[in-house]
């Protein structure tokens, strides 16, 4: 039995009268890959934010490796060894690629080790040719890739990615898939995603969100062929 790295129990988030996240019970094992899907406003991004500390849930609890982390600040969550990538690219635009990655590495390593780590990540993500370029001058796909570098340089045991494939070219998505596969040898990964193509290419288990709650949780093929899920996506009454 693998270790449970992330667990939420009856996680609820309300904004005024709107319940964006409704009683979500969720479990993730070590080195598991899980995709969170659902139509717009299904609550998957709210769930993501509650887990990463960007929001503090109204009710319910979040546990990481057995410790309660409900209501922690994002920096405290990240310090546990959790890599987080937000929906919009969150990078330091006027610093270079290697400087960006160095800052992420420095949190978990000494100066000397950080320098080595940066070289390693730049190598692994094939960023060598742009290592000295300011982030602000890069294309969207490259920025996404750099951010993935930031997220993984600290050797996280849990990686949370919010729409990593958004706005990327087919070639970039392919490269992203390889990177994620490789990540899975060391960490558990949660991906919040719209792009069904991308999910099909990497996913095993999928959690479907609908109206703030978990609609179903199964292997990707089962989910895709499920009539309720299809209805939800096509906007019919479930």
Q: What residues line the site for another protein (CB under 8 A)?
A: 52, 73-75, 78-79, 84, 86, 90-96, 99, 102-104, 106-108, 111, 132, 134, 150, 154
CB nearer to another protein: pick between 34 and 143: 143
Give least dist CB 118 to another protein, A.
12
CB nearer to another protein: pick between 102 and 209: 102
Structure tokens of 132?
A: 């000295």
CB nearer to another protein: pick between 38 and 149: 149
Q: Do β-strands 82-85 and 188-192 pair in parallel, antiparallel, or remain unpaired?
A: unpaired
| Rounded alpha-carbon distances, angstroms, from residue 13 to 60, 192, 207 | 9, 18, 18
CB nearer to another protein: pick between 34 and 85: 85
Structure tokens of 110?
A: 């000494």
Give least dist CB 59 to another protein, A.
21
CB nearer to another protein: pick between 24 and 161: 161
Helix/strand/coil (H/E/C) assignment for every residue in 10-34: EEEEEECCEEEEEEEEEEEECCCEE
| Rounded alpha-carbon distances, angstroms, from residue 143 to 124, 149, 170, 189 | 15, 10, 15, 20
| Rounded alpha-carbon distances, angstroms, from residue 167 to 66, 89, 198, 207, 236 | 36, 11, 12, 22, 27
Chain centre distance of CA 191: 4
Give least dist CB 210 to another protein, A.
28
Give least dist CB 106 to another protein, A.
5
Q: In 3D, which of 132, 103, 124, 127 has the Cα closest to residue 115? A: 103
Which residues face 96 on adjacent strands? 134
Give least dist CB 18 to another protein, A.
15
Give least dist CB 30 to another protein, A.
20
Give least dist CB 175 to another protein, A.
22
Which residues face 8 on adjacent strands? 26, 62
CB nearer to another protein: pick between 103 and 196: 103
């Amino acid at each position: 039995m693998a270790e449970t790295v992330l667990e939420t129990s009856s996680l609820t988030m309300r904004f005024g009268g709107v319940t964006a996240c409704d009683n979500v019970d969720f479990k993730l094992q070590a080195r598991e890959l899980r995709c969170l899907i659902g139509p717009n406003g299904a609550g998957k991004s709210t769930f993501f934010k509650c887990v990463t500390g960007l929001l503090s849930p109204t009710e319910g609890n979040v546990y990481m490796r057995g410790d309660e982390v409900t209501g922690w600040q994002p920096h405290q969550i990240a310090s546990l060894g959790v890599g987080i990538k937000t929906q919009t690219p969150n990078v330091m635009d006027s610093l270079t690629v290697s400087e960006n990655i160095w800052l992420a590495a420095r949190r978990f390593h000494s100066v000397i080790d950080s320098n080595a780590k940066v070289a390693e990540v730049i190598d692994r993500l094939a960023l060598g040719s742009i290592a000295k370029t300011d982030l602000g001058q890069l294309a969207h796909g490259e920025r996404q890739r750099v951010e993935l570098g930031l997220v993984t340089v600290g050797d996280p045991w849990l990686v949370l990615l919010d729409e990593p494939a958004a706005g990327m070219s087919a070639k970039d998505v392919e490269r992203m898939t390889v990177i994620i596969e490789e990540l899975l040898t060391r960490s558990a990964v949660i991906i919040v995603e719209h792009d069904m193509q991308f999910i099909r290419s990497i996913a095993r288990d999928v959690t479907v969100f609908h109206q703030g709650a978990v609609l179903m949780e199964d292997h990707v093929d089962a989910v895709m062929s499920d009539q309720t899920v299809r209805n939800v996506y096509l906007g019919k009454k479930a």
